Amino acid sequence: ELKVEQNPLFLSMQEGKNYTIYCNYSTTSDRLYWYRQDPGKSLESLFVLLSNGAVKQEGRLMASLDTKARLSTLHITAAVHDLSATYFCAVVPNAGGTSYGKLTFGQGTILTVHP
Amino acid sequence: NAGVMQNPRHLVRRRGQEARLRCSPMKGHSHVYWYRQLPEEGLKFMVYLQKENIIDESGMPKERFSAEFPKEGPSILRIQQVVRGDSAAYFCASSPGGGPYNEQFFGPGTRLTVL
């Protein structure tokens, strides 16, 4: 069974600081997603990482994927209050099995950015 | 181009009643996934459907839950004789194809409260 683990689960940051959220997964995959969820809202797609070594950046967020280590990171640079939300990674196992593309999510990281 | 639509957005039921949740995929999408998010948890896969077919229902509880995606009309997730533990947010996602190489687009969710 595919397991996806994020850490930390709770992250309290000061504005202006940097931090990294980690996402480990237990089976081969070369497709990983990062989502943002605000309270009571749906999931907003942030990044799709498709291959080993992939790095994508959008504003203050940068995501990377190391398929050999089965690890993805979401790095936050110079945090601002607007980034406060819950962040999820989600993994699709490689084709060849019967995953049918279903996503397995991490537990989520609740990020709070305060002055 | 409308996104994935779900209704109702909020649903309140008493124990023992039935709940029907609807999902209209994006235009041109014929694949639908349902996920459940329990309070303070990540999303968990329930069922994957194509038009008129259930492809993977490995995440569905064995009793009281059913899903369909008819040739015409929305996909429906039906919960019979609801219990308090069914209180959760239910999200559907649609994609243009199945398998791991098609991105899923999420709807706004239906928040079910069982009294």
* Number of neighbouring beta carbons within 10 Å of residue B10: 12
Q: What is the pLDDT of residue A30?
A: 67
Query: Encoding tokens for residue B70?
Result: 């008819």
Please provide the size of chain A in residues.
115
Average pLDDT of chain A to the nearest whole number: 91
* A contact residues 50-69, partner B, Cβ 8 Å cutoff: none
* Mutation for testing the A interface, residue in B41, B101, B102, B112 having most A CBs under 10 Å: B101
In the predicted model, is pLDDT for residue A77 greater than 80? yes
Residue B72, min C-alpha distance to chain A (Å)? 23
CA distances from B2 to B9, B70, B96, B106 (A): 16, 20, 14, 12
3-state SS, residue A107:
coil
CB-based contact A43 B99, cutoff 8 Å: no
Residues of chain B with pLDDT under 70: 1, 100
Q: Do the Cβ atoms of B42 and B59 come closer than 8 Å?
A: no
The closest of A111, A36, A47 to A79, measured between CA atoms, is: A111
Residue of A nearest to B36 (CA): A105
Q: A100-112: per-residue pLDDT in tens?
A: 788 999 999 999 9
Burial label, A70 (beta-carbon count in 10 A; 0-12, 13-18, 19+): middle
Query: Encoding tokens for residue B18?
Result: 């039935």
